[in-house]
Amino acid sequence: MALIKPYQSNQLQPRYVDDEGERARLQVEIRKYAALTISSAAAANAVMLGAGYFTPLTGFMSKADTLSVAESLQTTEGLFWPVPILNLVRENSFEHIGRSVALCDPNLEGHSALAIQEVDQVEELSDAEMGHIAFHTFGTVDPQHPGVAALLAQGRYLLSGPIRVLNYSYFEQEFADTFRTAGQIRSEIKQRGWQRVVAFQTRNPMHRAHEELCKMAADAVAADGILIHMLLGKLKSGDIPAKVRDAAIRKMVEVYFEPNTVMIAGYGFDMLYAGPREALLHAIFRQNAGCSHFIVGRDHAGVGDYYGAFDAQSIFDDAVPLDTLDIEVFRADHTAYSKKLKRVVMMRDVEDHAAEDFIFLSGTRVREILAAGESLPPEFARPEVAAILQRYFTESN
């Protein structure tokens, strides 16, 4: 049985220039192009396009596509897509229309070239249009929302057109054991002989509830394996750095999962905190990575109180046209430690429990405990994981 097809395509369409000779030629040729240092958000979009996660997109969206995707979740040509994929710049670069531009990486010293863009159009967005895009994408225009803040901090000139990607920014070097393209994940799934793969998205260290959720989902869908797929890009202030999360997740998998049942990988993207819209994007790029199922839990990709607890699940019913996505969603309930059963449960499965029968810890409370140098309760975090997190908080305070 073949793996699940990439999203709306018979094959992955990575924009990375894979041929070494061609890439070397472009590295020389690019010196003739105008150089443009782009935002971290645009650089992350380029990495995702290069890695095949955004198949079947070929580059950055035009103003018409941007407004259409924001309002109606589809491009002007009718492709279902949940969030605009943008290259917003501060300077008016109208002289670049119809020409190649070197997109330079803001996250690397020296701002070396990351990709080449063929600039089809340069269009200005008004403040009203920026607000319109923010509202539809994030459900708010509150500048305190980290995704809204990141969007509004970029320029107002929209450069659209296809790109060719020359490298994967800092992700390949800094996370050599973890960063993987969609194609690399597909290849490893095939090598392992897996057919049914359930993907778990995380920007946080995995505590016992996350661990058990992965195991519950794998059992429920009879999965051959689990992809724990962590975000490696930029986060909001207060979130735990990727290297610490990576170490904690690897230790948890090593000790508490059966051998050869979990693949750990990471992707090079900046977190949007777009809640339901981001859940849809997560599903698309997990399908591109070859996963048959995707876990969507409580407040998936959310932040603060901007989204309802299960909005990221209901959007798959309310907004996705029939037969658009091939990947199936595993809908998770609140998970918590049951003092009655002495294990982590999904709360919908234990109707005989009252609130006092559960142990809950908010992310804020976890950070307070760790910052105080205290131990996390064993009902919440595995001791090996807690030790890694405690060491990070001790060294950073």
Residues 6+ apart with CB under 8 A from 385: 205, 206, 207, 248, 251, 252
What's the rounded Cα separation, in Å, for the pair 274 and 236? Answer: 13
How many CB atoms lie under 10 A from the CB of residue 174?
Answer: 14
Integer Cα distance of 76 and 84 in angstroms? 12
What is the rounded CA–CA span in Å between residue 89 and residue 273? 21
Residues 187, 193, 196, 197: is their CA dihedral positive or negative? negative
The string of DSSP letters for 268-331 reads -------THHHHHHHHHHHHHTT-SEEEE-TTTT--TTSS-TTHHHHHHHHTSPTTS--SEEEE
Q: How far apart are the first and last CA of the chain?
A: 52
Catalytic positions, written as ranges = 203-204
Q: Could you tell me which of 92, 85, 98, 91 has the C-alpha nearest to residue 44?
A: 85
Q: Which residues contact 230 (CB under 8 A, 6 or more apart)?
A: 178, 202, 203, 242, 245, 246, 249, 264, 265, 266, 267
The span from the CA of 5 to the CA of 290, in Å, is 7
Pairing of β 88-89 and β 157-165: antiparallel
Bridge partners, residue 36, by sequence: 103
